[in-house]
Structure 1
């Protein structure tokens, strides 16, 4: 079985992913794949630099994520351009890893962590979609604390994504991550037991 794991920024997806892995699931991380496809020397990194300018590269030739983030979070058209470059390659690699995991162990739960799963229209790739939910107020507080952002910067990042309430509505499984870690673990165990995993 495979599930897509998503949520909003700072909702605690990593925590839920870690618990699922501790329970035996195999994790495929779309963010990690997104970093792989733009490693120094890759054709995709050259395309990103050609489109957004050499300023998005660090002196060592790696991608300056902070600089690129400043550009794309301030300009929806630029964000669309970036997604148009990255998403097809990320999707292809994700699908390849899912097929490899299924071939290696057909009975193992495969969890694919995809931050922008609904925004990218990827729900059809998965048997079910699990959303890690916290309120928008909690997201803002956690995001400002985690990334050292101002309220305005944090607000902009949240506004760039689908509202967490809408993701919750569209989910097959909702893990409410407002409470303690043991509350979250209990919900995950309940889900796994229900699936006979």
Structure 2
């Protein structure tokens, strides 16, 4: 039987979304990762390459033909119009790929990991027609200082860099307000795993 229950997994930078997704996957739950789909679309030979090259020019591509994601990330961070241009190309393609993957996922439910779900679904006009019905939103949550320290340690970014990225994302309060399920990740891996175990049982029995 195909999964009819799509549960979104989201959270701010450094919150621990990927760690949470790995725990769900370890339980046999299909995880559809929007970021992974984006990377596939912009890899050498990816389906989005031609449209992005036509819209933005060849200077944003590596020698192997793939999108230079680091340079483009800096561009769209500094230039909202470039961000809108790129999103107009990528988002419909990501939704199309995600819809196909979600439709093939088995029961009892499927996790759809979208880092910027809250930011891209603030308006009712931008809600869910292409992803299909969404039953719940899991937000992986932690203190902002925890986010900052994690990102600095893993990426080498400065505190100011991390704060600038966080300023472009939904606030912690906004994410919490939109959550149907909240996972606290201020503690260790065991604490997060226990919460996911309990939520998994809740989801398969509801």
Aligned to 1:118: 118
Q: TM-score, normalised by structure 2?
A: 0.87
Aligned to 1:196: 204
Determine whether 1:89 maps to 2:97: no
- One of 173, 179, 189 as aligned partner of 1:181: 189
Number of paired residues?
A: 193
Instruction: Give ranges in structure 2 of 5+ residues lacking alignment.
Output: none
- One of 59, 67, 91 as aligned partner of 1:63: 67
> What's the offset of the Cα at 1:86?
0.6
Q: 8 Å contact 2:108–2:204 — kept in the other structure?
A: no
Separation (CA, whole Å) in 2 of partners of 1:78 and 1:10: 25
> What's the offset of the Cα at 1:90?
0.3
Separation (CA, whole Å) in 1 of partners of 2:117 and 2:67: 23
Aligned to 1:149: 157
Q: Deviations over 1:126-183 (max 9, x none)?
A: 1111000012211111112111111222122111211122111110000000101111
Q: 1:123 to 1:187 in 2, by over 3 A?
A: farther
- One of 20, 41, 45 as aligned partner of 2:45: 41
Aligned to 1:78: 82
Separation (CA, whole Å) in 2 of partners of 1:14 and 1:155: 20
Q: 8 Å contact 1:117–1:123 — kept in the other structure?
A: no
Separation (CA, whole Å) in 2 of partners of 1:113 and 1:162: 16
Q: 1:29 to 1:184 in 2, by over 3 A?
A: same
Instruction: Give ranges in structure 1 of 5+ residues lacking alignment.
Output: none
Q: TM-score, normalised by structure 1?
A: 0.91
Q: 8 Å contact 1:24–1:108 — kept in the other structure?
A: no
Separation (CA, whole Å) in 1 of partners of 2:19 and 2:199: 16
Deviating 4+ runs (over 4 angstroms): none
Q: Deviations over 1:1-34 (max 9, x none)?
A: 2201000111000110011111221111111111
> What's the offset of the Cα at 1:43?
4.9
The two structures, once aligned, show a CA RMSD in angstroms of: 1.6
Aligned to 1:51: 55
Aligned to 1:127: 135
